[in-house]
């Protein structure tokens, strides 16, 4: 997922506190990215992420099997979500904002301010 993103844009990621992120330090080191963790039971610290999860669940309810889903099926869901305007983005789509931001000069030292835990 990250290999096609320009290095200056690979600043950080936010992980869930579940067992799926138990080896996050290996990923952090391999990617040269920082990892943020929200406090347990504090989904409000990850509002945009929770919004995205809700949008994904419209297409893939909990307990949905992935065996019959093709890469094209999953890409269609991703495309629909990333091409839907969002109020938090001033009614622009995530894709519009992403590609505009990629076109700006980026500094590897610029990190967003956050109130969640940071690991390095």
Q: How far is CA 9 from CA 6, 35, 84, 100, 102, in A?
A: 5, 14, 22, 12, 7
Exposed (0-12), middle (13-18) or buried (19+): which is 94, by Cβ within 10 Å? middle
pTM of the model: 0.67
Report the C-alpha gap between 31 and 11 in whole angstroms.
9
- pLDDT tens, residue order, the chain (120 aa): 777 788 778 888 877 777 878 888 888 888 888 888 888 888 788 777 788 888 999 999 989 998 999 999 999 999 999 999 999 899 999 999 998 988 876 554 444 443 344 444
Domains, the chain, in order of start with CATH, read 7-119 (3.30.420.10)
């Amino acid at each position: 997922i990250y290999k096609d993103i320009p290095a200056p844009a690979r600043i950080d990621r936010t992980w869930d506190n579940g067992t799926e992120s138990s080896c996050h330090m290996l990923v952090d080191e391999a990617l040269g990215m920082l990892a943020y963790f929200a406090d347990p039971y504090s989904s409000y610290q990850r509002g945009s992420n929770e919004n995205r999860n809700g949008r994904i669940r419209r297409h893939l309810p909990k307990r949905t099997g992935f065996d019959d889903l093709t890469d094209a099926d999953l890409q269609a869901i991703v495309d629909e979500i990333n091409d839907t305007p969002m109020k938090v983005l001033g009614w622009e789509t995530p894709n519009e904002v992403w590609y505009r931001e990629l076109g700006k000069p980026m500094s590897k030292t610029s990190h967003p301010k956050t109130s969640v835990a940071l690991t390095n």
